[in-house]
Each structure stands twice: as C-alpha cells, then as structure tokens.
Structure 1
Amino acid sequence: MKLIEALQYRLPLAAKLSILHRASGLIMLGLLPFVIWLFDKSVSSEVSYDAFTSAFVAGIGFVPAVIVKLAVLGLIWSFLHHAFAGVRHLWMDATHSVTKQQGHSSAVVVFAASLVLTVLLGAKLFGLF
C-alpha cells in the first residue's frame, strides 16, 4: 500500500492554475453565443435593452433568472481567471527568471485576485449591494 501512495503525484498549484487557464478559455468559447446575444440585446434598441434587463429579473423563456445569473457569474470568473493567468504567463515568458517558489506565489496571487473579484462582482450581480 505504501508503494502505491509513493507513486501518486500531486500537481503543484501552478500546474492546476495552468489547467484552469485552459478550462476558462473553453468556458468563454462555449458561452460566446450567450455573450453575443447579451451584447445584441443590450445595444440594439430600447425594447431589446428592456429584454436584456428582464433576463436578469424574470429569466429567458423557460430558463429562470438565477440560471442566467449563474451563467454570467461563470463567465465573469472565466474572464477574470483567464486574464490574470494570461498576464502571469506573459510575465513569466518576458522575464525568463521563474523559480518554483515564484511560480507558486504568482499562482496564489492569480487565484486570490480572480476569486475575490468574482465574489465581489457576483455579490453585485445578485443584488447584495
């Protein structure tokens, strides 16, 4: 049993961040039709803007408003995480001086920044302030 435990590999935090960077890109790609619909409804006319705002209050067709808000919250997280992780990757590529400790600490900063901003924007989205 100890041999199996010794052979298990735990991904470092920086690797998990990199995987989530790719996943957040896929989430944004998958939600792109929803984003285009939201943008179209928000800028086409006053009537369509009212439909846009009512989507967050009454929902869209059979989809309740809370699902719409959760989809937007997922989009917010994926954008923030992808942006912060992308800046981190660009910084690592530009400096060429990344140690294991720098990778870990910058991953912590990216996770913290994206999650804190997601919680704040989610609180605003759900009307907590």
Structure 2
Amino acid sequence: MSILHRVSGALLFLFLPFLLFLFDQSLTSELSFEVFKGFLSNIIVKLITLVLAWAFLFHFCAGIRHLLMDTNHDAVSKEKGKSTSIVVFVVSSLLTIAFAAKLFGAF
C-alpha cells in the first residue's frame, strides 16, 4: 500500500507539467480545444490518461485513509490497516473502472 501511494504520487508529480500544458491548451481557444480532443482520441493517450487517473484516484483514496488514521488512533493497528487498505484498493479500482468506461465511450 505504501509503495503504491508513493508511486502514484511520483506519477502525478512527474506528469503535472504535461497535464497543466494540456489544460492550458484546451482553454486557449476553440481551435486549440478541437486539437486537444483530436489528441485525446489516440488510444495511447487514452491509456496514459487512464494510468494518470488511476494514480490520482488511488492517491486521493489513500490520502483520505491516512487522514482518517491520523484523526482516529483506534484505526492504527495491523488488522485495521489491512482492512482499510483493501477498501482503498476496491474504491480506487471501481472509480478507475468508471473513469475508463467514460473515457472509452461506454456511456
């Protein structure tokens, strides 16, 4: 759990300039937004976007877990740590699957 939290944070940190550039380009004009949509239609870019979405969702859920563990010291035990880590995996996986379904046009 800890290593995945670090990996997801590192991915977000490393790709932040790229994401900010894409965001800036999408807001510049209607033409740049159309170029952005065309760029995002590439399957490789969609897969990279999906990995970054997983990194964000996992990192967010794990961060909420850490905040809850900081505020409730009864939750800091080996058994509670294992159960909350499973919850983080399940919730972040479900959210990532929902994002993937939207990204690839399921709805």
TM-score by length of 1: 0.78
Task: State the Cα distance separating 1:128 from its structure 2 match.
Answer: 2.0
What CA RMSD, in Å, does the superposition of the two structures yield over aligned residues?
1.0
- Partner deviation per Cα, 1:31-86 (whole Å, 9 max, x = no partner): 112201220122111111111111122xxxxxxx1110011101100000000001
2:97 — aligned with what? Answer: 119
Instruction: Kindly tell me the number of residue pairs found equivalent between the two proteins.
Output: 106
2:79 — aligned with what? Answer: 101
2:5 — aligned with what? Answer: 21
Whether 2:55 is the aligned partner of 1:78: answer yes
Task: State the Cα distance separating 1:122 from its structure 2 match.
Answer: 0.6
Bigger Cα Rg: 1
- Name stretches of at least 5 consecutive residues in structure 2 with no aligned partner: none
Identity of aligned residues (%): 49
Whether 2:18 is the aligned partner of 1:34: answer yes
1:110 — aligned with what? Answer: 88
Task: State the Cα distance separating 1:109 from its structure 2 match.
Answer: 0.5
Deviant stretches of 4+, over 6 Å: none
1:4 — aligned with what? Answer: none
1:10 — aligned with what? Answer: none
**Cα distance between partner residues in 1 of 2:104 and 2:17:** 22
Whether 2:38 is the aligned partner of 1:54: answer yes
**Secondary structure of 1:31's aligned partner:** helix
**Secondary structure of 2:25's aligned partner:** helix
